[in-house]
Structure 1
């Protein structure tokens, strides 16, 4: 067969390869990854994939026709929600898996050991980059337990208006990076007169200066040149202390994995995302944590997650996020269906509903144990959700701030993404793209289609790589050098 049917109730199939007119009853050319109608569908009737509605026929659609943006329309979700009706707890693993990680005084465990140069405002971004760039591989060779000195700079921190939501988000993000277990030392640099005052951040989150946490601002130090010189001295003093950390054997329950997708295609919800979901189930069985995000990309699939909510309160928190996003897009004269990008659509995804049903598969099948604000510390174990936009760098930034010490990123069109301080592995959805971008892809989930592998086999391959990368094995993105420019805090509210 050259098509894939995902459910007996579906009225579409997905083409494994481009179908010519006449192939399997096609009356149009069906591009690879795109949908073909398996029966006549009347105008206004629902189109089903994954046994769920992905849109409505914008016109009468004949059996064998190509279904895409020209004849499938989106409608806002109007669902009634059930809570806790599909709870499938995973039995604890019979064997405790381990990895080699860095134990922190907070009790959390890191998979990397970085020194972070954080900025309170964009005005100190150049200083931070100059400080970090001083510490070349030759200098750091004397500190083998330090993975690097990285500047995390952003384009905001001042002139922030609105209701304070954006200010609070940035505070949580900066604090979250400072406390991420993959960070062994922090230098926080500011200008001095910005809205995001360093002293306020320290007071709000109980941070204390010490050998591995230092602060300064340009106005007090006496200018850019002096600030860079002082920052270099502070990190030179910090390096021997951070280098004292060594890897120890720790249980897999200490892993918190950011579940992420970008450059998605029609295969994302068929191969890579379900495989990551299976890996997430394996991690949850070990007592670990998976963090799904990208709220606009669960839109239309949120009812599947509320049915897995461990409590009604957790389910209600998720619905509140959906309502906020509906209001947010309306206020900004947008639509939730604006999310699928041109690349997503070229890859066969037509509506946000179709994209969301595939994206939600990354969360596996276990109960939803917590719902969190953007960059809020995730404290629950098991499968959880964090609010974020669908824009990958902003979403991953929030997940790392929430405490994630690994990132698992699925992609169908291809993505050259990496993040520091948490190593990022990339899972290809199809073999064609994996072969084309093999220098960037860590695992090929496309073998589920091309080679007949099972979702479970690829899922276990992903999970086992999580353990190896947590112990120090470099991902493709780390080998290439990605991750220095992917710190993108979500900015909400007016710039004044």
Structure 2
């Protein structure tokens, strides 16, 4: 069934408490050993793409949007790109600049400061004498970086080192009934073993924020949960809109979801049942243990990228309607409980939770199976999206565009 859609086997062997990863001289171990070619402005993307195509295993991070306007947007972009360069799954970085001055050099400098002990090289298209020469020189530089990380071998680490992100997109009625609860069970298992879980999409907490607030570890965290949801509605009202006006989406409604509250009540289930330890800003480093929320929009590519830049190792993404989305710096595992969607898009899925809908399995048993699969992916098994080559990446912009 596709690249690895799970069958119902309901394993009874002990749950793994270690995984095979790559040691980093600073920070958490990685589950991938990526060389990324990172363009820091849109004009450098083609050169980065051509360089990556010439180096086996290299990935060009597809940062294409130059809609940076004002200090808030610039700070947001810097934080995401620096986070991507210093993510645990990234072993080496080639930063591709368009020019030798301005914001390009600032980002390169900051990224170098944030990635101690990791090979990082920079280049400028302008300094190389144009795109064609930059591709040639960049290929040489990237080849040397690839050689520098090629000898790394996996070794055993406790699962307490892992940061699991959770996401949902293209939700339908089966998402809240099965897919999200299964991910929630997996999340609880990892947290109980000392690991970390982070989920986001603030717009899809609306109507359920009081439930999350009751799970907060203290009053300040509870206040912050209520605050970020209220801020989303205020931002929508400021431009004459409401969050409920665009949520649920037409696809959500066609899949059986009728209100934003119904959608949110299903969405928060992917975070399991453990206390909420805190609320993080967009792409803020995830450093604590337990369950964390991140304040992001509901846009899938943006939200996944924010948690990846925050340091998560992989993302477990639930969908009912179907989604092929991946990410440039981490595996994105797809979970679906809609049997028709799984059959139609089997190549895009890693795990089917449909047996819960048909009464053949429980969420607890399937959550344990999903946890086992997650550890296998952390130890090197390819997720469907990365096996196909889905390496999406996106940055949220909050300023007024010129």
The answer to whether the superposition gives a TM-score over 0.5 is yes
- 1:488 alignment partner, one of 355, 378, 394: 394
Q: Does 1:176 align with 2:96?
A: no
1:150 to 53, 59, 63: 59
Query: Structure 1 regions of 5+ residues with no counterpart?
Result: 1-93, 141-147
Distance 2:396 2:101 in 1: 18
Residue of structure 1 in register with 2:7 after alignment: none
- Greater share of helix: 2
> 1:111 touches 1:471 (CA, 8 Å); kept in 2?
yes
The total of aligned residue pairs comes to 388
- Radius of gyration: which is bigger? 1
Any idea what the Cα deviations from partners look like across 1:100-152, whole Å, max 9, x if unmatched? 011111131111111011111101111111111112xxxx3xxxxxxx21111
Aligned to 2:211: 304
CA offset digits 1:25-46 (Å, max 9, x no partner): xxxxxxxxxxxxxxxxxxxxxx
Please tell me whether the aligned partners of residues 101 and 470 of structure 1 are also in contact (alpha carbons under 8 angstroms): yes
Aligned to 1:53: none
The 2-side partners of 1:113 and 1:204 are apart by 18
Report the alpha carbon displacement of residue 436 of structure 1 after superposing the two structures with TM: 2.2
Q: Answer yes or no: is 1:165 the counterpart of 2:85.
A: no
What is the RMSD computed on CA atoms of the aligned residues? 1.9
Whether the 8 Å contact between 2:15 and 2:372 is mirrored in structure 1 is no
CA deviation vs aligned residue, 1:270-315 (integer Å, no higher than 9, x gap): 1010110011000000111111111101111111111111122222
Runs of 4+ off more than 6 Å:
208-211
Question: What does residue range 258-269 of structure 1 map to in structure 2 within 5 Å?
Answer: 258-269=165-176
Once the two structures are TM-superposed, the CA of residue 218 in structure 1 deviates from its matched residue by: 1.6
* Pick aligned residue for 2:298 from 390, 408, 411: 390
Determine helix, strand or coil for the equivalent of 2:347. Answer: coil
Q: 2:46: which partner in 1?
A: 126
Q: How big is the shift at 1:244?
A: 2.0
User: Which runs of 5 or more structure 2 residues have no equivalent in the other structure?
Assistant: 1-13
Residue 350 (str. 1) matches residue 258 (str. 2): yes
Task: After TM superposition, list the pairs within 5 Å mapping 1:374-453 onto structure 2.
Answer: 374-453=282-361
Distance, in Å, in 2 between the alignment partners of 1:362 and 1:427 is 11
Which sits farther off after the overlay, 322-331 or 371-380? 322-331
1:63 match: none
Structure 1 position 103 matched with structure 2 position 9: no
From the superposition, tell whether residues 453 and 210 of structure 1 become closer, same or farther in structure 2 (CA, over 3 Å).
closer
Q: In 2 relative to 1, CA 194–344 (structure 1 residues): closer, same or farther, beyond 3 Å?
A: farther
CA distance in 1, matches of 2:270, 2:385: 20
Structure showing greater relative contact order (alpha-carbon pairs closer than 8 Å, 6 or more residues apart): 2
SS, match of residue 297 in structure 1: helix
| Aligned twin of 1:73 | none
Structure 1 residues 298 and 494, CA gap change in structure 2 (3 angstroms): same
What is the CA-CA distance between 1:214 and the residue it aligns to?
0.6
Secondary structure at the residue paired with 1:160? coil
Q: Which aligned pairs between 1:236-385 and structure 2 lie closer than 5 A?
A: 236-337=143-244, 338-385=246-293
CA distance in 2 between counterparts of 1:402 and 1:348 reads: 33
Q: Given the superposition, is the C-alpha separation of residues 95 and 469 from structure 1 closer, same or farther in structure 2, using an over 3 Å criterion?
A: closer
Please show how residues 11-90 of structure 1 align to structure 2 within 5 Å: none
Length-normalised TM-score, structure 2: 0.92
Q: C-alpha separation between the residues in 2 aligned to 1:243 and 1:480?
A: 22
Kept in 2, the 8 Å contact 1:104–1:181? The answer is yes
- Cα distance per residue 1:233-263 (max 9 Å; x no partner): 1111111211121100101111111101111
Q: Equivalent residue of 2:267, what SS? A: helix
Question: What is the distance in 2 between the residues matched to 1:417 and 1:173?
Answer: 19
Q: Could you tell me how far 1:320 is from its partner in structure 2?
A: 2.3
Q: Which deviations, in whole Å up to 9, do the C-alpha atoms of 1:31-70 show, x marking residues without a partner?
A: xxxxxxxxxxxxxxxxxxxxxxxxxxxxxxxxxxxxxxxx
Q: 1:160·1:493 contact (CA, 8 Å) conserved in 2? A: yes
Q: Residues of 1 paired with 2:142 and 2:74: CA distance? A: 28
